[in-house]
Amino acid sequence: MHTWPGSAYPLGATFDGNGTNFALFSEGAERVELCLFDDAGAETRVELRDVDAFVHHGYLPAVQPGQRYGYRVHGPHDPSSGKRFNPHKLLLDPYAKAVEGQVMWGQPVFGYDFDDPDSRNDEDSASHQMMGVVVNPYFDWSGDRQPKTPYSESFVYEAHVRGLTELHPAVPEEIRGTYSAIAHPAIIEHLQKLGVTAIELMPVHQFVNDSVLEENGLSNYWGYNTIAFFAPQNTYASSGQRGQQVQEFKGMVKALHAAGIEVILDVVYNHTAEGNHLGPTLSMRGIDNEAYYRLEDDDKRYYTDYTGTGNSLNVGNPHTLQLIMDSLRYWVLEMHVDGFRFDLASTLAREFYEVDRLATFFELVQQDPVVSQVKLIAEPWDVGPGGYQVGNFPPQWTEWNGKYRDTVRDFWRGEPATLGEFASRLTGSADLYEHSGRRPVASINFVTAHDGFTLRDLVSYNDKHNEANGEDNRDGADDNRSWNGGVEGPTDDPAVLTLRARQQRNFIATLMLSQGVPMLLHGDELGRTQRGNNNGYAQDNEITWVDWSTADQPLVEFTAALARLRREHPTFRRRRFFNGRPVRREEGAPIPDIAWLRPDGTQMQPEDWDSGFGRAVGVFLNGDGIRERDRRGEPISDRHFMVLFNAGDDVVDFVVPDVEFSPKWDVVVDTAGEHADTEPLEPGAGLPVQGRSLMVLREHEVPEPAVGHTVAASLAVTSVGGPDEVPHAAPRAELGG
């Protein structure tokens, strides 16, 4: 086959309209062969003879999109020194932009004999390996406009491509579980109804299905087992056409952008699917093991593992850093995604041993003109020493706030001594983020995520029930901070069901009323259950898929109403922290931008935070105390609000405080449904707040007839869905403009 020298950059297989340039980095390789496969599986090997800066490269004029390929890399095989070269193993290009096939587990894909980990196995792995595919990069992006939604206006929806769409009745069966399904009008309309501004997709980089799971009849559902950082997962494509997943993914992004919804990818750059020293040789291990992976200093046959998966990428190596940065830029520039959520991001900060917030990776991101301009969300922990780093990431980053999750769960299940921290989490976690110059939006607030209970299970189970995972219920977290309301699992007790439904509304309302960026787990608004399974990583089935036929439609409406309240009132999405300083309206005395209230209507004192009524508190939010300007430079103001929380079991009688300029108040949210149609409340009025509920009061405003007025719509919530539940009384939310 005719070969030209080609170029050492860009890495990977790059089609230019005439032919394809191939470039592969390997510092330790003695020789690299490009392997091309025809439709019958016949292999043609082409040696890449030109090498520049350890990049082996060549240009093949005859190679067109759709061509399958891999590499065979020749070099020393000495695991004790970290070298695992073996030309008998076909290797996947780390820069492959599309992948065909799946790994067929067996001896051929392992570099050693099963009975001797220190041996070398020379069985050819080509028939058991996935292969790279040359792709056509051209796509009609005309009309695509990235929403660029500010963090302060964002509402993130964590979703799984298959889990969200596999059972949706309005999505054609032939595209369910795919990128095309996410782009279907039925899915987009649901996201728009909720007010979602960004969908955060669980891993869509090509990943490997674990051999152990396959042997047990399970599969890797979550996808945190990446093997190719440039390629969209091929099983999420509706078409079997080679390389079609790239075009389909782009079409999904374009459709979501047209609906005003950003696309954020959950990315796994901390490890790969090759595992530890007993793992398969699929890609980087056979290309340049020492460069790509962290190895133990005293014996390089073993891998340093900060991720709990067997290996950790070596972010101290410039070529590994280049791989990550090239991947990020590719997804932004070529695939038009709007941001990234970094799985186990603390691992990326470990240049040597300890987590370093000034690590080279963060410096590269900071100065990169492309990556620095998109949303960057850290999962700020890993399993290594000192890995829990909530609040310690650089100023440009936002973080999944695990402390918010834990505190809000504890508050609503009635744990003592949580009131003070609950107040901090509700107001944006200044104690975590203000010291680094960040603002409330640095906190990605969530109550549930893919890892753990769903919202419905959070209020239905005290303990995990992971028997279906085949690990004797040993897997998954034991510290769930959940409360079942008195009965474990399904029940037909109306009182328990009423309490559980109220608790779900409490969590959703708290999430939407907190400063920061709310993130909702897909299906939580629908009452989705995993039957008590808090670790659905291996359950690619009805346990984890959203069952749209049992959707709790009233909860959907309630969630949408709370999101609308947040969207319409900047009081709940401030860009700066509260400071407690007084703010003056033109016609009266100054009042603070925030005030914490006892049930008797007076302000909280330091000793009150640990008092006997520590499960009930009110907060006054001054609509004139936002101290921000809009995009046109005009001052932002809003109406005053009060939020009353009662996490105890009994009714608490709150007294409406005498707040200057607010002679009357309207109840606009009541998660207990007791005060939906009351007349405006005057200062001094008593207001009973039911146990395990919250209320939102808004400053009453009499409309001027000459201007006109839109009557606030009342949203009646009358039942809860689910196969094992019965109708019950639920709240009415009255949310107007």
Query: In sequence order, which residues have a C-beta less than 8 Å from that of residue 343 and are 6 or more positions away?
Result: 203, 224, 266, 267, 268, 269, 270, 379
- Rounded-to-integer distance, Cα 42 and Cα 54, Å: 29
Paired sense of beta strands 517-521 and 443-445, if any: parallel
Of residues 162, 171, 176, 175, the one with CA closest to residue 190: 171
- Rounded-to-integer distance, Cα 480 and Cα 528, Å: 17
- Rounded-to-integer distance, Cα 428 and Cα 670, Å: 23
Q: What is the amino acid identity at position 256?
A: L
Contact predicate 488/122, CB 8 Å: no
What is the CA angle 622-626-629, rounded to 5? Answer: 150
Residue 379: active-site member: yes
Query: In sequence order, which residues have a C-beta less than 8 Å from that of residue 571 and are 6 or more positions away?
Result: 621, 623, 626, 638, 639, 641
Burial class (CB in 10 A: 0-12, 13-18, 19+), 148: exposed
- Rounded-to-integer distance, Cα 271 and Cα 18, Å: 35
Of residues 402, 352, 422, the one with CA closest to residue 609: 422
Q: For residue 401, what are the CA distances in angstroms to 155, 339, 430, 441, 444?
A: 15, 17, 12, 11, 6
The catalytically annotated residue of 166, 288, 343, 457 is 343
Query: Rounded to the nearest 5°, which phi and psi values hold at 59?
Result: -115, 130
Six-digit token pair at 668? 């606009």
Per the DSSP assignment, residues forming a β-bridge with 44 are 36
Contact predicate 35/20, CB 8 Å: no
Q: What are the DSSP calls for 557-583, one per residue?
A: HHHHHHHHHHHH-GGGS-SS-----EE
Q: What is the DSSP letter of 44?
A: E
CA atoms within 13 A on the CB side of 209: 21
- Rounded-to-integer distance, Cα 566 and Cα 733, Å: 13
Paired sense of beta strands 665-670 and 77-78, if any: unpaired
Six-digit token pair at 712? 């606030």
Six-digit token pair at 412? 């609503």
Q: Which residue is associated with the tokens 């104690």?
A: 431
Of residues 195, 510, 203, the one with CA closest to residue 379: 203
Residue 658: active-site member: no
Six-digit token pair at 699? 């400053």
- Rounded-to-integer distance, Cα 473 and Cα 703, Å: 59
Query: In sequence order, which residues have a C-beta less than 8 Å from that of residue 665 and are 6 or more positions away?
Result: 642, 656, 680, 681, 682, 697, 698, 699, 700
Q: For residue 627, what are the CA distances in angstroms to 246, 332, 349, 576, 623?
A: 45, 34, 35, 8, 10
- Rounded-to-integer distance, Cα 440 and Cα 418, Å: 20
- Rounded-to-integer distance, Cα 228 and Cα 155, Å: 29
The catalytically annotated residue of 248, 379, 524, 674 is 379
SS (HEC) of 225-257: CEEEEEEECHHHCCCCCCCHHHHHHHHHHHHHH
Residues tagged active-site: 343, 379
